[in-house]
Amino acid sequence: MSTTAPAARTRWRHAAVALVLLTGAGATLATTPPLERCPDPPADGAVSDFYGPQEYETGLARVASPREFSLDGFPVVQTDVSGPACVTADDGSVTVRVDLRLDLDEPGPVPDEVLGTLTVRDGQGRSWSPAEVSARERLAPRSEGGDPTPSTATVTFALPVDVEPPVSLHLGGWGGLDGAPLEELSLDEPTETPP
């Protein structure tokens, strides 16, 4: 009796499995839609570098630095900066949001009076007050034994297209970090990855 037949079947089986896996991976890549290009990407320098490249509809999404600090004694554990995609030189202003997430143990919310004192400043010394502020207290768990939804706050700014880096969020005397006063957060794209 020959032992080559089972070995050949095993090789064919492995080859068939590999083919199925490759076909599945190829199908996944083929069905993932490509990034949409912006209709009319602006010329270099027409839109501030703060907003990032404007070739694709990816939008502004980054973490402020430092991302963790305290605001009026409320422990902030995540600070995200977001904005729209496809900014053009013709846009009157650009809506930029700063989203704060509080520590899960903190019920919140951060008072609107505190959020309203935050300002954005750019490298030319210009300053903008919030267009809108909102805060939500911590929500109870949706199910028994689940985690609560953390308290959040959002500060929305209408910034010009030509905002000049460095761009920072000034905390109006309400900020702190490791027991010391913290005056501002950087809203720019980080130059290196935080540890």
Contact 171, 64 (CB under 8 A): no
* The pLDDT of residue 9: 66
**Residue 14, domain member (yes or no):** no
- Position 91 in a domain: yes
Look at residue 39 and tell me if it is in a domain: no
Is residue 43 included in any domain, yes or no?
no
The pLDDT assigned to 136 comes to 95
| CA atoms within a 13 Å half-sphere pointing along the CA-CB vector of 117 | 13
All residues at 6 or more sequence positions from 107 whose CB lies less than 8 Å from its CB, including other chains? 137, 138, 151
In a domain, 9, yes or no: no
- Whether 169 maps to a domain, the answer reads yes
- Give me the residue label for tokens 């308290």: 151
Does 108 reside within a domain? yes
Range of the domain at 140: 49-186
Per-residue confidence of the chain (195 residues) as pLDDT tens digits?
Answer: 555 556 666 666 666 665 555 555 555 555 566 778 888 777 776 789 999 888 888 889 999 999 999 999 999 999 999 999 999 988 989 999 999 999 999 999 999 999 999 999 999 999 999 999 999 999 988 888 888 899 999 999 999 999 999 999 999 999 999 999 999 999 998 876 545
Q: How far apart are alpha carbons 82 and 92 in whole angstroms?
A: 18
Q: How many domains does the chain have?
A: 1
pTM greater than 0.85: no
pLDDT score for 25: 54
Provide the pLDDT for residue 146: 86
pLDDT given for residue 56 in this prediction: 86
Q: Tell me if 27 is assigned to some domain.
A: no
- CA distances in angstroms from 72 to 89, 141, 180, listed in the order given: 37, 26, 13
Interacting residues of 63 by C-beta distance below 8 A, sequence separation 6+: 78, 79, 80, 81, 190, 194
